[in-house]
Every structure is written in C-alpha cells, then in structure tokens.
C-alpha cells in the first residue's frame, strides 16, 4: 500500500512538471512532426499549381491566424530523406497552448471557410495530396530562448534549413565541469559567433523536454536548427574570422575552443536533414 501511495505521488509530480511548463523560465516548446505527400502525378485530378495554392491557403487560414502559435515552418524535401516527406516545426509558449491550439483547430477551420460546402470542398481537395492518416511525431523539445537567433529580414526566395543532432557530454566526463560553466561557454559562443555570423539567418537550440532520449552515459542529445539563404552559405564553414574577432588573444581563443569542444563531445553529430523552408507558408514570430 505504501509503495502504491509513493508511486502515485511520483506520477503526480511528473504530470505537474509537464503541466507547469519547461525546465527553464522563459523557454518555449517546439514540436517536430513529419507528414507524407503523395506524388502529385499519382493523385486523381492532381495538379502542381493547384497543390501549391491549396497549401498556401491552408497555412494562411489555419496556421498564420493561430494566435496561440508563436512561429511555424513547413520544410520540404531538398537533399536528404524521402521526397514526399514534409517536416513541420511549430513553436508555442508552453505545452498548454500547444494542446489548446489543436483543440481549437475546428473553430479556425470554420472561420477560415464559413460556408460549409466550400469548407468541405477545400478539405477534400487538400487532403487528396497527403498520405491519409500517416504522420510521425519526431519529438517535443524545450527551446532555449537565450540561444535563439531570429531572422531579421523578410525573404522573397525560399531558404534552406539544416537540422543536426549534437550531443552534450555527460558532466562526469568533463574534468572540473559544471552546468553553470557549460551554460557560460554555450552563451559566449552564441553571442560571439552565431549572432555575428551573417550566413546564419536564424538558429534554434532544442533540448529534451518530455519525449525521446535524455542524458545517460552517452550524453544528452540536442537539436540545432539553422537557416541559411542558400547552399553556398550552408557549406561555408569558415569561422576563423569570427573566432579571431571574438577572442583576439590566441592563447585565450585556443583555451576557449578546447573547453567548448569538450562540452560538445568534440562536435560529434548526426545530420538529420537539409530542407527547403517555404517562406510564403511560414509563420514568423512577432
């Protein structure tokens, strides 16, 4: 009986932690989901231009007008993965807003297409391009707002977004390491390199929230989502000038790099995908 009561308290604690919000005050929630398109030529009555117009209208009425949604990117296949795979990256202030956004989608649909017949016709045309009922929940993440770079300018052309999974080393492997020191190094790199790098239009650092893997002997996985204007900027990895400007003293620069690499497990990473970001269908944060 005592064990059952203790287990109940543990369960209540976990639920309350999720309900209250993120690990760090001021951070937000980001969800990554995958959906799957049919090849448009295999769709009965399918048309490339019609599909584009339908998708634009849907994003405008269902996503851009969602006041609970902070930002949203819809990422289409470019160099990696399956051609029909679409990744949706959504940002909310907290998990409660994300839940409420889903619950109120029916109301937004009615407002977007007030006439029932028009609404049903649109829904039928829109859905015919998707593999019915199929999607993958990649994960729910905590967005570190202190390490968040927003795109400052409007883009006329679609941009490129790369998603990479890095690993923060277990603290036990860092001699004299601490979470406070690690945060200090991450923030300094962000301020002196990421924010000063004009090739990086925007960047998100996504930490484990309540799905996927967290910690353990292998370290803690972290997603880095970076946006570039084009592939040339993405492939240009020369950071020497930024490092020299950030740490003019060579000895200090080398010492910083060594310690920074240790916390990042020597930058061992997995390239999860390179995608087209449709700027016309994107909702940007205000």
DSSP run (H or E) holding 75: strand 69-77
Query: Which residues is 208 bridged to in the sheet?
Result: 141
Question: Would you state the structure tokens that stand for residue 87, as one six-digit string?
Answer: 């990744």
DSSP state of 64: I
pTM metric for this prediction = 0.88
The DSSP code sequence of 146-215 is GG-B---S--SS-EEEEEEEEEEPPGGGSTT--HHHHHHHHHHHIIIIITT-TT--EEEEEEE-SSS---
Residue tagged 């001699």 (tokens): 175
pLDDT by residue, tens only, the chain of 286 residues: 434 333 433 333 433 433 334 467 889 999 999 999 999 999 999 999 999 999 999 999 999 999 999 999 999 999 877 889 999 999 999 999 999 999 999 999 999 999 999 999 999 999 999 999 899 999 999 999 999 999 998 899 999 999 999 999 999 999 999 999 999 999 999 999 999 999 999 999 999 886 666 666 778 999 999 999 999 999 999 999 999 999 999 999 999 999 999 999 999 899 999 999 999 999 999 8
The bridge status of strand 69-77 relative to strand 130-143 is unpaired
Exposed/middle/buried for residue 29 (C-beta within 10 Å: 0-12, 13-18, 19+)? buried
Query: Which residues is 275 bridged to in the sheet?
Result: 77, 161
């Amino acid at each position: 009986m005592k064990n059952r009561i203790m287990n109940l308290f543990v369960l209540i604690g976990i639920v309350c932690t999720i309900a209250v919000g993120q690990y760090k005050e001021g951070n937000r929630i980001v969800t990554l989901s995958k959906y799957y398109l049919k090849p448009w030529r295999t769709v009965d009555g399918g048309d490339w231009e019609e599909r584009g117009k339908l998708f634009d209208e849907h994003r405008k009425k269902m996503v851009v007008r969602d006041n609970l949604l902070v930002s949203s990117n819809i990422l289409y296949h470019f160099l990696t993965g399956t051609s029909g795979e679409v990744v949706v990256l959504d940002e909310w202030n907290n998990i409660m807003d994300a839940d409420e956004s889903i619950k109120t989608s029916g109301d937004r649909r009615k407002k977007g297409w007030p006439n029932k017949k028009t609404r049903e016709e649109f829904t039928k045309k829109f859905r015919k391009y998707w593999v019915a009922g199929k999607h993958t929940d990649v994960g729910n993440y905590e967005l570190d707002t202190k390490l968040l770079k927003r795109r400052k300018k409007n883009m006329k052309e679609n941009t490129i977004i790369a998603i990479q999974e890095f690993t923060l080393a277990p603290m036990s492997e860092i001699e004299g390491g601490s979470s406070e020191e690690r945060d200090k190094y991450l923030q300094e790199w962000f301020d002196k390199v990421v924010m000063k790098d004009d090739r990086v239009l925007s960047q998100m650092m996504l930490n484990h929230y309540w799905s996927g893997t967290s910690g353990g002997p292998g370290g803690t996985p972290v997603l880095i989502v970076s946006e570039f204007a084009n592939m040339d900027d993405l492939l240009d990895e020369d950071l020497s000038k930024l490092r020299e400007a950030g740490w003019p003293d060579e000895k200090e620069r080398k010492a910083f790099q060594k310690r920074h690499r240790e916390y990042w497990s020597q930058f061992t990473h997995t390239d999860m995908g390179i995608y087209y970001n449709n700027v016309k269908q994107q909702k940007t944060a205000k």
